[in-house]
Amino acid sequence: MRIGVLIGSTVLALLPACTERKSEPVSSSPPPAATTSKASQEKPAPTHDAGIAAPAVPPLLPGETPPTKGPNYFEPTEMASTGIATAYQSCLSSLERTDADLPTWKAVPYCSCIVDAWRANIHAAGSPETAPKPTFEQVKRCGNLDGGAGPFAVAFPKDTPDLYNSWKTCIEKFPTLDHGVYCGCYTDGVFKNPGFLAISPEDDKRCVVADQYWTATKTHLTVRQFQALQPLDVAPR
C-alpha cells in the first residue's frame, strides 16, 4: 500500500467531514410540534434566510454556545454518525481518485481505520469539538494494514462501516429532501444501545425537532437542549 499517496488522500478526505448531508426520517413518525417550557415559547422562533420558522426549543443558557458540528446527542463523547459517514465516504472517494487500483478489501479497512482513529481521539479528548484529527503516526499504522480490523477498531455493531451503511440507507430512502441532521441523529439513537437496535418514539421525535431546527436556523442544538426536548405532540406530515 502506498503510504505517501494514502496519507495525502486521508488529509483531503478528512477536510469535508462532519458537514451536513441530505436526510429524512426512515421511520414513520411524523414531525412533532414540540412542547417546551413557557420561557422558551415566549421568545420568537428564529428563522433562517428562507424564512422557515424554527420549532420552539429550550433556550441557550448564559455562556452556552451551539456546537459547530452536529453532535452525537446520545453519546456526546462519540463522533456523530453523520461525521463518521462523511469522513468514511470522503476517504473512499479520495482513494478512488488517487489509487484507483487499490482493491476494496484494502480500501475499506484502511478508511475504517482512519475514521476509527479519529473516533479514538475524540474519546480521549472527551469532546468532538477539541479532538485532533488522526495524526501522521495513526495514518501510517492504518496504511500498514493488510485487511482485517485495525488498531483503533470499534466492535460491531458500532463499527464505522455498519454505522455508515445505516446512515446511507436513511439518506438514500429520501434523496429529494434536505434535512441536514436527521439521519445522523436517527442512526445514533438506534445504535446507542447495541443490545436493542431500535430508536424509541420519543428519541425519534427529538431527532425530527433537531433536524427542523437546523433546517430553519443552520444552528445545531446543544446536547442539553436536545435532551430537554419534550416533543409530546405529533403533527401530521
pTM for the model stands at: 0.76
Within-domain flag for 133: yes
Contact 4, 143 (CB under 8 A): no
- Residue 83's closest CA among 151, 163, 156, 198? 163
pLDDT value, residue 172: 87
Within-domain flag for 106: yes
Contact 134, 121 (CB under 8 A): yes
Can you give the residue range of the structural domain that contains 161? 3-18+69-228
Within-domain flag for 126: yes
> Under DSSP, is residue 231 helix (H, G, I), strand (E, B) or coil?
strand
Q: What burial class does residue 161 get, using C-beta atoms within 10 Å of its C-beta: 0-12 exposed, 13-18 middle, 19+ buried?
A: middle
Q: Is the pLDDT reported for residue 27 higher than 60? A: no
Within-domain flag for 49: no
pLDDT value, residue 146: 81
Rounded CA gap, 106 and 110, in Å? 6
Q: What is the mean pLDDT of residues 60-71?
A: 93
Contact 32, 234 (CB under 8 A): yes
Rounded CA gap, 103 and 36, in Å? 51
Within-domain flag for 237: no
Which residues, at least 6 apart from 71, have a Cβ–Cβ distance to it below 8 Å?
80, 128, 220, 222, 223, 226
pLDDT-based confidence at 32, cuts 50/70/90? very low
pLDDT value, residue 232: 65
Q: What total number of domains does the chain contain?
A: 1
Rounded CA gap, 137 and 158, in Å? 24
Give the phi and the psi of residue 233 in degrees, each rounded to 5: -95, 140
pLDDT value, residue 233: 60
> Under DSSP, is residue 34 helix (H, G, I), strand (E, B) or coil?
strand
Q: 126 to each of 24, 75, 78, 169, how far by Cα in Å?
A: 29, 11, 8, 29
Within-domain flag for 31: no
Within-domain flag for 37: no
pLDDT-based confidence at 53, cuts 50/70/90? confident
Q: Is the pLDDT reported for residue 40 higher than 60? A: no
Rounded CA gap, 54 and 51, in Å? 9
Within-domain flag for 234: no
Please give the grid coordinates belonging to residue 223: 446536547
Contact 208, 231 (CB under 8 A): yes
